[in-house]
Structure 1
Amino acid sequence: MKHDGTLTVTKIYEFAYAHRLPAYAGKCVNLHGHTGRLEVEVAGKDGPAYPGIVVDFHDLKAIMADIVAEVDHTYLNDVLNAPCYARWAQSHLDPVQDENGQEVYAPTAENMVLWVLHRLQTAHVGLDVRRIRWWESGTSYAEWRAGA
């Protein structure tokens, strides 16, 4: 079927995590947990694998498996500040000073969206990511959308 516009598919992932926002002026300065939800939307053209399929949902689940495993039942402060992401974080995120005066990166929903985007773009070059939405609760999320 021919159409105008962009055809996308979205896969949703749920997981649990803990975090805190260092030196934050609010309750989130304390260690707390969430049941998080992550939505990843990708675009494509019909085929070549199968007409009418942008990306097989099973394939998208496999693409995201390592990323979801990295945040599921973890302390996000350790994930975002891991040495393997230091170079990326320095060039893409604004640091905050923790209570000891050390510069760190805060695992806000906004920063985690950017981290997921980075992980997808480096691990799966060519995947046409259109939207990433990180739900911190049933009523609150941060979102990145591809530019027009």
Structure 2
Amino acid sequence: MAKIRVTKRFHFEMAHTLHEYDGLCRNIHGHSYNLEVTLAGEPRNQPGHPKDGMVMDFADLKHLVKSEIVNRFDHSLMVNKLVPEEQTELLRKTSERIILVDFQPTTENIVSYIAEILQEKLPPDVSLFSIRLFETVTAFAEWFAEDNQ
């Protein structure tokens, strides 16, 4: 059977700050992120099965990405753990949704982080092909499985 790619788009709002960056992005600021998740696999060939003809049910993909990524990231502030603890504590006084990460929260690193999260949650017969994360309407980062094997 043919290998097929399926893609679903998502949207979330998130703020971040780039620790020790030498430009404006060292300040807390937000983006309207658009996320595209592309899976690869063979469509199920089981006539009569409710998922016949699907690589993965779009409803199942939506539930997975919303629960693991969108609901967690939306209206949060992503901060590098290198930010001094006293500054992080001050941020916690004004924001209850802070995500501390072990990396500089650039779009490049965030897209890789999303790939790590999703790869662990996918069914065994479906693979993550690519992720595209738009930070703005004109700027995005992409992750491809073939580049990361």
TM-score normalised to the size of structure 1? 0.75
The runs of 5 or more residues in structure 1 that have no matched partner are: 82-96
Deviation at 1:63, TM superposition (A): 1.2
Q: Which moved more, 1:61-70 or 1:47-56?
A: 47-56
Provide the residue aligned with 2:105 in structure 1. 107
Query: 2:8 and 2:55 mapped to 1: Cα distance?
Result: 12
1:73, distance to aligned residue in structure 2 (A): 0.5
- 1:147 is matched with which residue? 146
- 8 Å Cα contact 1:22/1:99 also seen in 2: no
Structure 1 moving runs of 4+ over 4 Å = 97-100
In structure 2, C-alpha distance between the alignment counterparts of 1:69 and 1:7, rounded to whole Å: 28
1:32-79 alpha-carbon deviations (Å, 9 max, x no partner): 1110111100011111553322111111001112221111010011xx
1:30 maps to 27
Secondary structure class of the residue paired with 1:105: coil
Alpha-carbon displacement from aligned partner over 1:71-129 (angstroms, at most 9, x marks no partner): 1010011xx65xxxxxxxxxxxxxxx5579xxx52110011111111111223352400
Equivalent-residue separation in structure 1 for 2:103 and 2:58 (angstroms): 32
Aligned residues: 126
Secondary structure in structure 1 of the residue aligned to 2:22 = coil
Return the offset for 1:142: 0.5
| C-alpha contact (below 8 Å) 1:109/1:141 kept by paired residues | yes
Distance 1:122 1:51 in 2: 24
* Of 104, 117, 120, the match for 1:119: 117
Q: Does 1:132 align with 2:114?
A: no
- How far apart, in 2, do the equivalents of 1:136 and 1:58 lie? 25
Amino acid at match of 1:72: D
Q: Distance in 1 between matches of 2:140 and 2:17?
A: 16
Contact 1:18/1:31 (<8 A) preserved: yes
Structure 1: how far apart are the matches of 2:16 and 2:52? 42
TM-align CA RMSD: 2.3
- 1:7, 1:123 → 2: CA distance? 19
Q: Separation in 1 of the partners of 2:115 and 2:9?
A: 15
